[in-house]
Structure 1
Amino acid sequence: MILAHGAGAPADSPFMATLAERLEAEGIATVRFEFPYMEKRRADGKKRPPDRQPRLLERFSQVVDEVRETLADECQLLIGGKSMGGRMASVLASERTGIDGVVGFGYPFHAPGKPERWRTEHFPDLTCPMRIVQGTRDPFGKAEEVAAHEPELAAVRITWLDGGNHDFQPLARQKSSQQALIEEAARIARAFAESLAPG
């Protein structure tokens, strides 16, 4: 699985590192990369906004091509990511082939407080199956908001993490932890990958 980072944190953020570690524990090898704007931030320490979508997709597609060249023909290639990274993965999968599945971890259905600006217009064009793992408290898309858009989400399966926010952090009173929810997300990704296997 090629994992893309979110808008504000790099590929080696604690969330991304833990997610990659848990996916590896579930038998899913991962590749992480950074978009150009984040590479520049790493080089000079200056925060900057994400690149425009065409530039993000160009880099993502380049990484897909590079990884695909190293894999055996029968090896599944999944793409996904955290928030913006998962969204870019889904957009890329709606524009090109050579991808077996997409997993979005905390999908940004809309910007917080702006539910009228929905970000799923490309979903009907997906060329492969997609699974979204979403916290029930995620301000980028809660269960009741998503339910109102059910018809346009027909091509996508969503699994909800009870109490999780955008970073899969549960409420303090819950008998759970961010680590536990990330582990659950990795298991969901594993089951999704297995469902794609032929036979």
Structure 2
Amino acid sequence: MFKKENCPSGRILFAHGAGAGMDHPFMLHMDELLSAIGLKVIRFEFPYMQKRREDGKRRPPDRMPVLLDYYKELIDLHCAESDLPVYVAGKSMGGRVASMLLEETDAVACFALGFPFHPAGKPEKLRTEHLEDITKPVHIFQGERDAMGSREEVVHYALSEAVHLHWLEDGDHDLKPRKASGYTQQMHLEHVTRQIEEIIR
């Protein structure tokens, strides 16, 4: 579908979600799609996921300060060594962390896929404070029926004008629609990729 370019148009640091690492099929597929539009994709794992890979033991995510510090070091490293634009991105938790760091780094923009606006089943516990006055562009690709922030809920949030919401019809937290919708997850991920390509151009 997408034609791969010889020269990369930028680097994109792509963080995983809370429960699955950088080699989850969703991460691998988005890596393939984003690479095909000329982005150099850097997938990585937070410390707790690295430990899980070493010993096989499931553990909860690191506390937010640890996640932020680890991701920021990577962003600073890639911004320092690259003449190309650097973008931050992530699936679910990874996108939340990326968006929280955007303003304090040289990254150009943030792409979040399935943003966890609140924990599932706890719509009163919003995680939107940093999105209310952010000035750099944050592009959130969200399923309309995401249990961590549905379209019906999110339209009422007080978000900065720099936050751009891209809705995927009937999509869930993994941007996967129900069969009866006439859409597929593949269609939605390709749409996300086209949108990102337009934004970075």
TM-score above 0.5, yes or no? yes
Cα distance in 1 for residues equivalent to 2:32 and 2:177: 20
Partner residue of 1:130 out of 127, 133, 138: 138
Q: Provide the residue aligned with 2:124 in structure 1.
A: 116
Q: Does structure 1 residue 175 correspond to structure 2 residue 186?
A: no
Partner residue of 1:82 out of 91, 103, 108: 91
Q: Provide the residue aligned with 1:143 in structure 2.
A: 151
Q: Which amino acid aligns with 1:144?
A: E
Q: Does structure 1 residue 66 correspond to structure 2 residue 74?
A: no
Q: Which amino acid aligns with 2:96?
A: R
Q: Provide the residue aligned with 1:43 in structure 2.
A: 54
Is the Cα contact below 8 Å between 2:146 and 2:171 reproduced in 1?
A: yes
Runs of 4+ in 1 over 6 A off after TM superposition: none
Please state how far the C-alpha of 1:13 moved relative to its aligned partner: 0.3
Cα distance in 2 for residues equivalent to 1:17 and 1:187: 17
Cα distance in 2 for residues equivalent to 1:98 and 1:83: 22
Please state how far the C-alpha of 1:127 moved relative to its aligned partner: 4.7
Cα distance in 2 for residues equivalent to 1:103 and 1:84: 12
Q: Provide the residue aligned with 1:197 in structure 2.
A: none
Cα distance in 2 for residues equivalent to 1:97 and 1:81: 16
Q: C-alpha offsets along residues 159-186 of structure 1, whole Å, 9 cap, x if unaligned?
A: 0011111111110113222122111111
Partner residue of 2:196 out of 189, 192, 199: 189
Gap runs ≥5 in structure 2: 1-11
Q: C-alpha offsets along residues 32-80 of structure 1, whole Å, 9 cap, x if unaligned?
A: 11000000000000000000011001110111122223311xx211101
Q: C-alpha offsets along residues 103-122 of structure 1, whole Å, 9 cap, x if unaligned?
A: 11000001111111111101
Per the alignment, in what secondary structure is the counterpart of residue 80 of structure 2? helix
Is the Cα contact below 8 Å between 1:97 and 1:127 reproduced in 2?
A: no
Is the Cα contact below 8 Å between 2:21 and 2:45 reproduced in 1?
A: yes
Q: C-alpha offsets along residues 93-149 of structure 1, whole Å, 9 cap, x if unaligned?
A: 13x131100011000001111111111101144352111000111111011100111
Is the Cα contact below 8 Å between 1:11 and 1:33 reproduced in 2?
A: yes
Identity %: 44
- TM superposition score normalised by structure 2: 0.90
Q: C-alpha offsets along residues 11-35 of structure 1, whole Å, 9 cap, x if unaligned?
A: 1100000011111112222111100
Partner residue of 2:28 out of 17, 32, 35: 17
Cα distance in 2 for residues equivalent to 1:127 and 1:44: 41
- TM superposition score normalised by structure 1: 0.91
Q: Provide the residue aligned with 1:98 in structure 2.
A: 106
| Coordinate RMSD, CA, aligned | 1.3
Gap runs ≥5 in structure 1: 195-199
